[in-house]
C-alpha cells in the first residue's frame, strides 16, 4: 500500500509539475527518485499486495454471506421453533466460518511474515550485490588503468618492433649479399681446386709417361745389347752365380738377388758393353721385383710372412668373450696370425694376442669419432688402417695408441679402407658414392672417382680397384686414369668383396642370400654358394676366402657360420649355437689354424679344428 500510495503521489506530483509556473529542481529530483523507488521496489512487494487484496476480497465476501444469513433468520414468516433451530445452526455455522476465517487470517499473517522475511533477505542480497558492484567498479577502474598502461607498452613495443624489423631487413639484405659473395668465392675456390688437381693429375700422368718411356727405352737398349752380345762370343770363367731363382719366384717367373754375395772373378769379354749388360740385367731384376712403384728401404727388404698350404676347417669354439662394449663391425688377423684386431661401434680398435687357443687383451687404439667399419693390416703387421663412421679413415702404428694421421675428405661414412701394393697408397670407399686414392706420405687425396651408387666394400691391386655397390654392380677401375673398365651385375646389393690369395677369383657377398665367386680370367664364369638357413644379416656383412683359397666363409643372420668348399661347391660345415645375433664379419688367420667370428651383440668367438 505504501508503495502504491508513493507511486500515486509521485504521478500526481508529475501531473502538477507542468502547471506550476516556476518548478524547482529539487522537487523534480524527488519525483524522479520516487518513480525509481516505485519501479525498483514494486516487484518485491507485488506478492504481498496481491495476497492482501485477495484477503480483503475474502473478508468482504464472508461479511456479505454473514449478513445474508442473519437476514434470513429474522424473517417473520418463520416459526419461533424453526427460527431458533435455524439460528442455532447458523450460529454454529457462523462460528465454524469465523474459526476458518481466523485460521485463514493466521495463515495469511504467517505468509505476510514469511514474505517480509523474504523481502529482508532480498534487501540484504541486494545490498551485497550493490557492495560487489561497487567493488567490481573499483576493480574495473584499476583494470582500465592497467589496460591503458598496457596499451602504452604495446605501442612502445610496436615501435621497437618496427625498428627491429628495419634492422632485421637490413641484416637480411647484408646476409644475402654476403651469402652470394660466399657462393661465388666457393665456386671460384672449387674451380681453383679442380684446376690444381687437374694440374697435379697432368703432372703425375706426365711423370708416369716419362717413367714408362724411360723403362721402355731401357728395355729396348737392353734388348739391343743382349742381341749384340748374343751375336758375339764371350768367354766367362764364372757365370751368373750370384743370381739364383727362388722357388716362389721361379713359379712367378721372377728372380731375386742373393743377399750373401760371393767374391766373383771379373768377366773377360771381347765386348766393351759387357759390364753395362750386367748392370742393366741387375736393374731390370730390381724393377721387376719392385714393380713400377717407388718403395722405401724398409719395403724393399720386406719379405712375405708365409703362405698357407692347407687351411683348417674350424670345428669347435676355443674361446668366447664379449670383446667390446657395443656391437662389433670388423675383425682382422695380422699377417703373422698371432695378433687379432676388432673394431666396433664403441669407436675403438682392440688388439688381442692369440695364445694357447685364447684371446688375451693387448691394448686399445683410440682416436676415432665414430664407429669402426673396416680394419686392414699392412703386410708388415706393424700398421693398421681403419674406416670410420666419422667420414674419415685413420692410420695407426701398433706401438702408438693415437692415430698417426687421419684421412678426411668424404662427406658420409667411410665403408672400406685398403692398402695398395706399394704400401704408400690407400684406397677408401664411402657412402657418398666416391672412391678416393690417398698418398700416405702427404696424407692427401690424389684422386677422386665418382661412382653412381653407395660403395659398400672394395679390394685393390697395383693398378686396379674393384668396388661393390648397392646398385647390384661390381665395378673395375683403372686407378691410373680413374676410368671404369668393366662392370659386373649381380642379383642383389653387394655387401662385401674379397680377393683370393692368387688374385684369380673375386668373392662377393650379396643380399640375395648367396655368395658369388667370379673368375677374373673368365668374367663369365661364376659360382654361387647357397645353403638352407643362410641369410645375409646386414648391408655390411663380410665374406672371405680361406688363406689357401679352397674355402669361402660368411656369417648368417641366425648367428651361425657357414663354410663352403670352392672346388666342389658344397657346404663344408655349419657352426651354430655360439652367437645370439647376426654375424657381421669373419677372419681367417694366414696360417690357416684359427678362425674368428664377431656379431652385433659384441661377442667374438675363436674357432679351430682342434
Average pLDDT over residues 353-362: 91
The answer as to whether 163 is a domain residue is no
- The full DSSP string for 46-109 is HHHHHHHHHHHHHHHHHHHHHHHHHHHHT-TTS-HHHHHHHHHHHHHHHHHHHHHHHHHHHHHH
Residue 273, strand partner residues = none
Contact between 555 and 314 under an 8 Å Cβ cutoff? The reply is no
d(CA 432, CA 106): 105
- Interatomic CA distance for residues 18 and 444, integer angstroms: 114
Chain segment 558-597, per-residue pLDDT in tens: 999 999 999 998 999 999 989 989 999 999 999 889 999 9
Residues 7 and 95 grouped into a single domain: yes
Is residue 232 predicted with pLDDT exceeding 80? Answer: no
Q: Are residues 322 and 445 in the same domain?
A: yes
Residues 474 and 468: their CA atoms lie apart, in Å, by 5
In whole angstroms, what is the distance from residue 557 CA to residue 538 CA? 8
How far apart CA 414 and CA 369 sit, in angstroms, is 12
178-217 confidence digits (pLDDT tens): 989 998 898 888 888 888 878 777 877 787 777 778 888 8
Residue 418 has pLDDT above 90, yes or no: yes
User: Is residue 138 in some structural domain?
Assistant: yes
End-of-domain residue from the set 99, 122, 157? 157
- 212 within a domain of the structure (yes/no): no
Note the Cα 313 to chain centre separation in Å: 40
Structure confidence at residue 31 (pLDDT) = 85
Q: What percent of the chain has pLDDT over 90?
A: 37
The pLDDT of residue 18 is above 60? no
Q: Are residue 416 and residue 559 in the same domain, yes or no?
A: yes
Q: Does residue 33 fall inside a structural domain?
A: yes
User: Which residues constitute the domain of residue 428?
Assistant: 316-608
pLDDT of residue 478 exceeding 60: yes
Is residue 167 included in any domain, yes or no? no
Residue 23's pLDDT is what? 57
**Residue pLDDT, tens place only, 589-610:** 998 899 999 999 999 999 998 7
Pick from 264-268, 378-382, 495-499: least confident = 264-268
Q: Report whether 502 contacts 465 (CB < 8 A).
A: no
Res. 266 pLDDT band, cuts 50 70 90: very low
What is the chain's Cα-based Rg? 56
Same domain assignment for residues 131 and 280: no
136 and 20 in a common domain: yes
In this prediction, residue 463 has a pLDDT band, given cuts at 50, 70 and 90, of confident
Tell me the per-residue pLDDT of 541-551, one tens digit each, with 9 for 90 and over. Answer: 999 999 988 99
C-alpha cell at 60: 468482504
Mean pLDDT of 269-280: 42
Please tell me the distance from the alpha carbon of residue 264 to that of residue 283, in angstroms, as a whole number: 19
| Res. 277: pLDDT tops 80 | no
**Where is the domain boundary, 141, 157, 173?**
157
pLDDT of residue 328: 93
480 burial level (CB within 10 Å; 0-12, 13-18, 19+): middle
Q: In which band, very low, low, confident or very high, does the pLDDT at 166 lie, cut at 50, 70 and 90?
A: very high
Q: What is the pLDDT of residues 120-156, one digit of tens each?
A: 898 889 899 999 899 999 999 999 999 999 999 999 9
Average pLDDT, integer, range 405-424: 88
- How much is the pLDDT for 379? 87
Mean pLDDT rounded to a whole number for the chain? 80
**Residue 84 pLDDT class (50, 70, 90 cuts):** low
Tell the residue number behind the cell numbers 524522479, with chain if given: 32
Give the integer Cα–Cα distance in Å for 313 and 317: 12
Same domain, 335 and 436: yes
Find the CATH number of the domain harbouring 579. Answer: 2.130.10.10
pLDDT band at 255 (very low <50, low <70, confident <90, very high): very low
399-424 burial: b if 16+ Cβ within 10 Å, else e = eeeebeeebebbeebbbbbbbbebbb
Cα 254 from Cα 4, distance rounded (Å): 140
Q: Give the pLDDT confidence score for residue 561 in this predicted structure.
A: 95
Q: What is the pLDDT of residues 397-406, one digit of tens each?
A: 888 888 888 9
Whether the predicted pLDDT of 350 surpasses 60: yes
Q: Kindly state whether residue 381 falls inside one of the protein's structural domains.
A: yes
More confident residue, 450 or 306: 450
pLDDT at 194: 80
| Helix, strand, or coil (residue 42) | helix
- Res 284: pLDDT: 46
345 Cβ partners below 8 Å, 6+ apart?
324, 326, 327, 328, 329, 371, 372, 389
Q: What pLDDT is attached to residue 380?
A: 87
| C-alpha cell belonging to residue 241 | 752365380
Helices (H) and strands (E) in the chain, counts: 7, 32
Residue 28 scores a pLDDT above 70: yes
From residue 567, how far is each of 507, 554, 561 by CA, in Å? 14, 17, 19
- Are residues 320 and 281 located together in one domain of the fold? no
Question: Is 311 part of any domain?
Answer: no
| Cα gap 471→494, rounded to integer Å | 8
Cα–Cα distance between 276 and 271 in angstroms, integer? 10
Q: With contact defined as beta carbons under 8 Å apart, do 58 and 104 qualify?
A: yes
Whole-number Cα distances in Å, 124 to 121, 128, 154, 274, 322:
5, 6, 43, 140, 85
- Residues 251, 352, single domain; the answer is no
Beta bridge partners of 553: 544, 563
Question: Is there a single domain that holds both residue 283 and residue 331?
Answer: no
pLDDT of residue 103: 82
| 559 and 413 in a common domain | yes
Q: How far apart are CA 425 and CA 443, in angstroms?
A: 9
pLDDT, residue 271, reads 38
Which helix (H) or strand (E) element contains residue 181?
Answer: helix 80-231
pLDDT score recorded for residue 171:
93
Same domain, 99 and 245: no
CA distances from 178 to 164, 184, 187, 191, 480 (A): 20, 10, 14, 20, 40
Q: For the chain, what is the domain count?
A: 3
- How many CB atoms are closer than 10 A to CB 577? 8
Confidence band of 254 (pLDDT split at 50, 70, 90): very low
pTM, full prediction: 0.53
Q: Which secondary structure element, helix H or strand E, spans residue 585, and what is its range?
A: strand 583-588
In angstroms, what CA-CA distances link 370 with 102, 331, 438, 440? 106, 16, 21, 21
d(CA 268, CA 262): 18
Last residue of a domain, one of 132, 157, 182: 157
Task: Check whether 424 has a pLDDT greater than 50.
Answer: yes
Looking at the structure, do residues 276 and 327 belong to the same domain, yes or no?
Answer: no
Structural domain includes residue 300: no
Query: 531 versus 524: which is more confidently predicted?
Result: 531
**pLDDT for 65-75, tens place per residue?**
777 666 655 55
Amino acid at each position: 500500500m505504501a508503495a502504491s500510495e508513493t507511486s500515486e503521489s509521485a504521478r500526481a506530483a508529475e501531473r502538477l509539475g507542468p502547471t506550476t509556473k516556476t518548478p524547482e529542481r529539487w522537487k523534480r529530483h524527488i519525483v524522479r527518485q520516487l518513480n525509481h523507488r516505485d519501479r525498483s521496489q514494486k516487484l518485491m512487494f507485488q506478492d504481498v499486495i496481491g495476497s492482501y487484496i485477495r484477503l480483503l476480497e475474502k473478508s468482504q465476501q464472508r461479511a456479505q454471506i454473514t449478513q445474508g444469513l442473519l437476514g434470513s433468520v429474522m424473517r417473520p414468516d418463520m416459526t419461533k421453533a424453526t427460527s431458533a433451530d435455524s439460528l442455532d445452526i447458523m450460529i454454529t455455522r457462523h462460528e465454524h466460518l469465523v474459526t476458518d476465517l481466523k485460521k485463514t487470517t493466521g495463515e495469511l499473517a504467517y505468509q505476510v511474515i514469511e514474505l517480509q522475511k523474504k523481502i529482508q533477505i532480498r534487501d540484504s542480497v541486494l545490498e551485497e550485490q550493490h557492495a560487489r558492484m561497487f567493488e567490481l567498479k573499483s576493480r574495473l577502474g584499476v583494470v582500465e588503468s592497467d589496460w591503458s598502461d598496457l596499451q602504452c607498452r604495446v605501442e612502445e613495443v610496436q615501435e621497437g618492433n618496427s625498428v627491429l624489423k628495419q634492422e632485421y631487413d637490413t641484416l637480411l639484405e647484408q646476409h644475402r649479399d654476403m651469402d652470394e659473395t660466399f657462393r661465388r668465392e666457393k665456386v671460384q675456390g672449387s674451380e681453383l681446386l679442380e684446376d690444381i688437381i687437374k694440374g697435379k693429375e697432368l703432372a703425375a700422368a706426365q711423370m708416369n709417361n716419362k717413367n714408362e718411356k724411360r723403362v721402355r727405352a731401357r728395355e729396348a737398349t737392353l734388348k739391343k745389347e743382349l742381341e749384340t752380345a748374343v751375336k758375339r762370343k764371350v768367354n766367362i770363367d764364372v757365370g751368373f752365380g750370384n743370381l739364383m731363382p727362388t722357388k716362389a719366384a721361379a713359379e712367378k717367373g721372377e728372380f731375386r738377388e742373393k743377399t750373401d754375395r760371393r767374391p766373383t772373378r771379373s768377366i773377360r769379354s771381347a765386348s766393351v758393353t759387357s759390364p753395362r749388360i750386367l748392370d742393366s740385367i741387375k736393374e731390370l731384376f730390381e724393377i721387376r721385383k719392385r714393380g713400377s712403384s717407388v718403395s722405401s728401404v724398409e719395403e724393399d727388404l720386406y719379405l712375405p710372412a708365409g703362405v698357407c698350404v692347407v687351411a683348417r676347417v674350424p670345428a669347435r669354439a676355443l674361446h668366447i668373450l664379449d670383446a667390446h662394449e657395443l656391437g662389433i663391425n670388423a675383425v682382422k688377423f695380422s699377417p703373422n696370425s698371432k695378433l687379432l684386431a676388432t673394431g666396433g661401434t664403441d669407436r675403438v680398435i682392440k688388439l688381442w694376442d692369440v695364445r694357447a687357443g685364447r684371446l688375451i687383451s693387448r691394448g686399445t687404439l683410440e682416436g676415432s669419432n665414430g664407429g669402426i667399419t673396416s680394419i686392414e693390416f699392412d703386410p708388415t703387421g706393424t700398421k693398421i688402417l681403419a674406416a670410420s663412421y666419422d667420414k674419415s679413415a685413420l692410420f695407426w702404428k701398433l706401438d702408438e695408441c693415437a692415430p698417426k694421421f687421419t684421412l678426411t675428405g668424404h662427406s658420409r661414412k667411410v665403408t672400406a679402407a685398403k692398402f695398395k701394393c706399394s704400401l704408400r697408397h690407400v684406397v677408401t670407399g664411402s657412402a657418398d658414392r666416391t672412391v678416393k686414392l690417398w698418398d700416405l706420405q702427404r696424407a692427401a687425396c690424389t684422386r677422386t672417382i665418382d661412382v653412381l651408387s653407395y660403395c659398400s666394400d672394395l679390394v685393390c691391386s697395383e693398378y686396379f680397384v674393384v668396388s661393390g655397390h648397392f646398385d647390384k654392380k661390381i665395378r673395375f677401375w683403372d686407378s691410373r686414369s680413374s676410368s671404369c673398365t668393366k662392370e659386373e651385375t649381380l642379383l642383389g646389393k653387394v655387401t662385401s668383396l674379397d680377393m683370393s690369395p692368387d688374385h684369380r677369383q673375386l668373392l662377393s657377398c650379396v643380399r640375395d642370400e648367396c655368395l658369388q665367386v667370379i673368375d677374373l680370367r673368365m668374367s663369365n664364369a661364376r659360382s654361387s654358394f647357397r645353403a638352407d638357413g643362410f641369410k645375409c644379416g646386414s648391408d655390411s656383412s663380410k665374406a672371405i676366402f680361406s688363406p689357401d683359397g679352397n674355402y669361402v666363409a660368411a656369417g648368417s643372420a641366425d648367428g651361425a657360420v657357414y663354410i663352403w668348399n670352392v672346388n666342389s661347391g658344397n657346404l663344408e660345415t655349419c657352426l651354430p649355437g655360439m652367437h645370439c645375433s647376426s654375424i657381421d664379419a669373419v677372419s681367417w688367420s694366414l696360417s690357416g689354424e684359427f678362425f674368428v667370428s664377431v656379431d652385433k651383440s659384441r661377442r667374438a668367438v675363436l674357432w679351430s679344428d682342434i
